[in-house]
């Protein structure tokens, strides 16, 4: 209970989840969900699974992915809300102190090109329970710090 209270105080706010696990999720679904209220931040976990008009054509997978990410960028601009997407990284990068865009699993055209910032989360060479590295793999502006240490508790699914 104390871990929950400490984590909640570190990052106050409400988390609203729109779950599409039973059905297809399209860019229009994301647009509709965002239009329902005013948000500080929108997280789209694994945007690669969003359906676009090219999703069924394996010959244009790269272009399909690019269309999805650029579509999310247009939605972010439309509602003036940052949209963060999530993707897995290659297993070899899990025990590194930092990683690059190339360490993203199945890195394809479109994932990083539309992004203003790309963070890669890793465990680090010297694993410490409760610590994770967030490495800035790409940023539109200059940053003096490229890696940030995060505290996490996987038992309660919180990072701060």
Write down the pTM of the prediction.
Answer: 0.68
Residue position matching structure tokens 């502006």: 141
Say if residues 143 and 135 touch (Cβ distance below 8 Å). no
The percent of residues in the chain predicted with pLDDT above 90, rounded, is: 9
Say if residues 98 and 115 touch (Cβ distance below 8 Å). no
If residue 136 lies in a helix (H) or strand (E), which one and from where to where? strand 131-139
Does the pLDDT value for residue 108 go beyond 60? no
Instruction: Locate the domains of the chain by residue range.
Output: 2-159
pLDDT of residue 35: 95
Q: What is the pLDDT of residues 120-143, one digit of tens each?
A: 777 777 777 777 777 777 777 766
Say if residues 120 and 135 touch (Cβ distance below 8 Å). yes
> Mutual orientation of helices 27-35 and 61-79 as an angle, nearest 10°?
10
Give 70 or 141, the one with higher predicted confidence: 70
């Amino acid at each position: 209970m104390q871990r929950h209270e400490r984590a909640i105080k570190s990052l106050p706010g409400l988390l609203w989840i729109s779950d599409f696990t039973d059905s297809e999720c399209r860019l229009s679904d994301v647009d509709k969900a965002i239009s329902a209220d005013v948000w500080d931040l929108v997280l789209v976990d694994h945007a690669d699974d969003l359906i676009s008009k090219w999703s069924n054509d394996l010959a244009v997978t790269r272009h399909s992915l690019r269309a999805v990410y650029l579509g999310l960028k247009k939605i972010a601009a439309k509602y003036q809300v940052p949209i963060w997407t999530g993707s897995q990284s290659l297993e070899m990068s899990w025990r590194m102190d930092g990683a690059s865009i190339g360490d993203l699993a199945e890195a394809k055209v479109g994932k990083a090109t539309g992004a203003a910032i790309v963070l890669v989360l890793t465990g680090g060479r010297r694993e410490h329970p409760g610590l994770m590295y967030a490495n800035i793999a790409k940023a539109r502006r200059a940053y003096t710090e490229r890696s940030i240490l995060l505290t996490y508790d996987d038992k309660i699914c919180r990072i701060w």
